[in-house]
């Protein structure tokens, strides 16, 4: 049986009585429509919104956040001289990994902040905000295949077809904006798994992600483009006619829920034409703010994410590295050194600026920022090594982090072994990370369910434990 949130805590109740909340309710009452009404959480929440920074391709924990100086003394040793045959199974690609040799970290690490957290040299700016971050250094998942790892991260399941995390969040909490989608994705290409990772699965269609573009002079959503010679007024008439026909069809077929989703999508499309462009219009930001974030596409996505959360969007994902810039650090992809230096250099300023900006505006406390990737990298060189260094796919121990939204900044939980191979201390699964994100939003991952095909479907499947150690 589906259990959705019921009673608000005191802070949530007072928040709903704010001027902004009253204005929103008045607007909805006057317009007569609210696609996703705000729903009270299961328990008192610490976060209201999520910004997910997903690094597609499997970023190496050994070159970013998991400092393993002991690898240097093992450099050049064969993997099968250190690890058992069983330990060397499950990697992708797994061609002759037994003969691969241990590869020490290719970048220097330095300590930052009052916490003394070790960061790779390729993240010089992130050190400014490291005391806001809680690192999870013993994460593991179920697959070292890109498409499967991405699907598990986004949906909690290895098979496609299940709702994404953003869809579950909007299903549980609704939206704070009547004029913007509750779940927005900005990406620079197509994910390995495809856009199925952003879909709503068996949830109603209104919970699917709206995939946006951030390009000057273009509407954020391609389906808002006007046809040549079609005025906005004429397009509104077309949408209204379609809506009337869809409602007639729905009334004749009340058992088909997708019809309601279609109606809601058309209504949202019209509202987006009126309001989305303003939320995505970066020209409204000062020159100083643009300088803070930087001028590349990832930075523009980060600045837009802040604007969207500020406008009431519940869940924003920035999907990075999909168009020829994946964090997939094989030798035949440009090598580990060039790959990670370029990708970190491209994202470091935007991530740091986002956290600084949210904090300066008083928004970080209720905005959960999550940095994630589908898996890590092996402590040994990849099979079939070429002249340029690369690491293989690795799902048995890697690093993710969270900031803001009720987490303990300046902390690190868990550890991999001295090789960065296995999660050995305070190990957490991706399911546990999902449970924690929902918990911070006031949602109980075991109660946020949907009855489908005679079973209660949920983001964490039948797994997941809240990681209380990183909650403030």
pLDDT in tens, the chain (472 residues): 455 555 455 444 334 333 233 223 323 332 333 446 667 899 999 999 999 999 999 999 999 999 999 999 999 999 999 999 888 887 765 566 878 889 999 999 999 999 999 999 999 999 999 999 999 999 999 999 999 999 999 999 999 999 999 999 999 999 898 888 899 999 987 788 888 899 999 998 889 899 988 887 777 876 666 667 777 677 778 777 877 888 888 888 877 666 776 676 666 666 666 667 788 999 999 999 999 999 999 999 999 999 999 999 999 999 998 767 789 988 766 689 999 999 999 999 999 999 999 999 999 999 999 999 999 999 998 866 555 688 989 999 999 999 999 999 999 999 999 999 999 999 999 999 999 999 999 999 999 999 999 999 999 999 999 999 999 9
Cα–Cα distance, 221 to 402 (Å, whole number): 29
Domains of the chain (ranges; CATH) run 10-223+276-470 (3.40.720.10)
Which residues does 469 contact at the CB level (< 8 Å), separation at least 6? 408, 411, 413, 426
Within 159-304, strands assigned E span: 183-187, 210-212
For residue 10, the model assigns a pLDDT of 41
By the 10 Å C-beta count (0-12 exposed, 13-18 middle, 19+ buried), 445 is classed as: buried
Taking only the tens place, the pLDDT of each residue in 19-70 is 233 223 323 332 333 446 667 899 999 999 999 999 999 999 999 999 999 9
Cα–Cα distance, 387 to 120 (Å, whole number): 23
Structure tokens at 357: 């900006």
For the chain, what is the radius of gyration of the CA atoms?
23
Among the listed residues 285, 287, 292, the one whose alpha carbon sits nearest the alpha carbon of residue 307 = 285
Cα–Cα distance, 467 to 136 (Å, whole number): 10
Longest dimension (CA), the chain: 73
Q: How many CA atoms lie within 13 A of 210 on its CB side?
A: 28
Within 56-102, strands assigned E span: none
Compute CA 204 distance to the chain's CA centroid, rounded to the nearest angstrom. Answer: 21
Task: Return the exposure string of 243-271: e unless at least 16 CB atoms fall within 10 Å of the residue's CB, then b.
Answer: beebeeebeeeeeeeebbbbbbbbbbbbb
Cα–Cα distance, 130 to 464 (Å, whole number): 27
Taking only the tens place, the pLDDT of each residue in 89-103 is 877 655 668 788 899
Which residues does 252 contact at the CB level (< 8 Å), separation at least 6? none
Among the listed residues 312, 319, 315, 239, the one whose alpha carbon sits nearest the alpha carbon of residue 276 = 312
Compute CA 457 distance to the chain's CA centroid, rounded to the nearest angstrom. Answer: 21
DSSP lists the bridge partners of residue 369 as 51, 403
List of long-range contacts for 231-234, beta carbons under 8 Å, 24+ apart: 232/273
Sign, Cα dihedral of 104, 105, 106, 109: negative
Query: From its phi and psi, is residue 4 left (phi > 0), alpha (psi between -120 and 50) or beta?
Result: beta
Which residues does 132 contact at the CB level (< 8 Å), separation at least 6? 355, 359, 364, 403, 404, 409, 410
Cα–Cα distance, 243 to 264 (Å, whole number): 9
Structure tokens at 206: 């209104």
Which residues does 161 contact at the CB level (< 8 Å), separation at least 6? 196, 201, 202
Compute CA 11 distance to the chain's CA centroid, rounded to the nearest angstrom. Answer: 26
């Amino acid at each position: 049986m589906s259990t959705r949130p019921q009673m608000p805590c005191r802070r949530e109740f007072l928040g709903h009585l704010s001027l902004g909340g009253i204005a929103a309710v008045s607007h909805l009452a006057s317009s007569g429509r609210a696609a996703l009404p705000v729903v009270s959480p299961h328990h008192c929440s610490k976060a209201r919104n999520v910004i997910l920074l997903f690094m597609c391709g499997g970023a190496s924990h050994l070159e970013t956040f998991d400092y393993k100086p002991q690898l240097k003394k093992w450099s050049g040793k064969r993997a099968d001289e250190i690890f058992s045959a069983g330990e060397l199974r499950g990697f992708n690609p797994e061609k002759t990994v037994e003969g691969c040799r241990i590869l020490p970290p290719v970048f220097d690490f330095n300590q930052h902040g009052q916490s003394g957290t070790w960061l790779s040299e390729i993240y010089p700016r992130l050190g400014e905000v490291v005391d806001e971050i809680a690192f999870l250094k013993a994460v593991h998942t179920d697959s070292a295949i890109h498409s499967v790892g991405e699907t598990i991260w986004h949906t909690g399941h290895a098979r496609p077809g299940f709702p994404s995390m953003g869809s579950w969040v909007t299903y549980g909490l609704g939206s704070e904006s009547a004029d913007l989608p509750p779940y927005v994705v900005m990406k620079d290409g197509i994910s390995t798994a495809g856009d199925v990772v952003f879909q709503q699965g068996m949830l109603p269609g209104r919970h699917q992600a709206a995939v946006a573009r951030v390009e000057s002079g273009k509407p954020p959503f391609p389906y808002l483009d006007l046809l040549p010679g079609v005025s906005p007024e004429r397009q509104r008439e077309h949408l209204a006619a379609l809506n009337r026909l869809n409602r007639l069809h729905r009334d004749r077929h009340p058992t088909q829920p997708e019809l309601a989703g279609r109606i809601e999508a058309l209504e949202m499309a019209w509202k987006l034409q009126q309001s989305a462009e303003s939320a995505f219009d970066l020209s409204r930001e000062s020159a100083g703010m643009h300088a803070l974030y930087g001028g590349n596409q990832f930075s523009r996505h980060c600045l837009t994410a802040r604007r969207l959360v500020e406008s009431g969007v519940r869940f924003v994902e920035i999907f990075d590295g999909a168009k020829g810039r994946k964090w997939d650090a094989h030798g035949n992809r440009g090598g580990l050194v060039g790959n990670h230096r370029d990708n970190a250099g491209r994202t470091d300023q935007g991530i740091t600026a986002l956290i600084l900006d949210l904090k300066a505006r008083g928004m970080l406390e209720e905005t959960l920022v999550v940095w994630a990737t589908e898996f890590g990298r092996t402590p040994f060189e990849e099979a079939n090594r070429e002249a340029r260094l690369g690491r293989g796919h690795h799902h048995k121990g890697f690093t993710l982090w969270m900031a803001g939204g009720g987490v303990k900044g300046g902390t690190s939980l868990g550890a991999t072994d001295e090789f960065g191979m296995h999660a050995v201390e305070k190990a957490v699964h991706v399911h546990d990370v999902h449970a924690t994100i929902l918990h911070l939003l006031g949602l109980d991952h075991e109660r946020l369910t949907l009855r489908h095909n005679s079973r209660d479907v949920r983001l964490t499947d039948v797994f997941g434990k809240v990681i209380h150690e990183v909650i403030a």
